Amino acid sequence: MREQRRSRRILAIIPLEIEWDEEPQPATTAVINLNGALILSPLNWPAGCELRIKNPNTGLQTLGRVVWCGNRDLTGWYKLGVEFRDPSPEFWGELYNVQGKEAP
């Protein structure tokens, strides 16, 4: 049985800058959707914190909240589930509008 989602998930590697009361830190996406992303970060941000997220490709910023913290992956970066405060299709630019490979 497939669970219902608010928007489709797309496998995508997009460089990001994320910050929480500090200097912006590099990050990258693994999966994107209109309501958030699975982000890989060198820092393990705490669940519940609000992040300012910038997409250098589009120049847009949005606010998101860490809803899930995973372990480090093989590259040494942490997996973070981030939910946007407001759905933001323009944040991802054309990449989200192009027919992409959906994540399971």
27-69 residue pLDDT tens: 999 999 989 999 999 999 999 999 999 999 999 999 999 999 9
What is the reported pLDDT for 60?
95
What is the reported pLDDT for 99?
42
What is the reported pLDDT for 2?
53
What is the reported pLDDT for 96?
63
What pTM value is reported for the model?
A: 0.82
**Quick one: CA torsion of 91, 12, 75, 52, rounded to 10 degrees?**
10
Comparison of pLDDT for 42 and 73, the residue scoring more? 42
